[in-house]
Amino acid sequence: MVPVRTLAAEIEATLAPARAAFARLCPGLCPDCADPCCQRVSPHGLLDQTDVLYLAVRGWRGTPLAMPTAKGCPFLTPGGCGLPWQARPFACLRYLCRPIQRALAEAELAAITSAITRAAALRSRLMAAFLDGDGPAEPRGQP
Ligand code: SF4
Ligand code: SF4
């Protein structure tokens, strides 16, 4: 079984180009967006169990407290997303909106789409490895 730490590191490396593309494009696109995606998501936010497991395995600390809102993501602030890129939910990277798609060159869009598919598969393996007994702490001994 591939350890969760190895899988989480692979996820990080696989998603790095997508994070970089979003970090490059969002400051120019999102402030003028006519239909901001972050205002359309659940007020509970989009962090799921696999995201939390991934952050724990990577040893991530400092995720800000989610602030409940009347509408949209609890991490949305007047200045944009309150989460650093390393901690953003996978769902936020997987969503390639039309403005982002249009801004990406064809080859980069294809590479990011492929990387997101690969990351999704790695996330499934991460959760499976965790459920099989591996985890953020040292592997559990047999009872
Ligand atoms: S839909 Fe696209 S451009 Fe609009 S806020 Fe979301 S990521 Fe930004
Ligand atoms: S976590 Fe950030 S990028 Fe994702 S929906 Fe919330 S505010 Fe938007």
pTM, two decimal places: 0.90
**pLDDT given for residue 138 in this prediction:** 57
pLDDT tens track for 108-129: 999 999 999 999 999 999 999 9
Q: Which of 19, 22, 24, 29 to mutate to test the pocket of ligand 1 (most atoms within 8 A of CB)?
A: 29
100 CB under 6 A from ligand 1?
yes
Closest ligand 1 atom to Cα of 26 = 8
DSSP per-residue string spanning 36-88: -GGGTS-TT-S--HHHHHHHHHTT---PPPP---SSS-TTEETTEE-S-GGGS
> Domain residue spans in the chain?
4-26+36-131
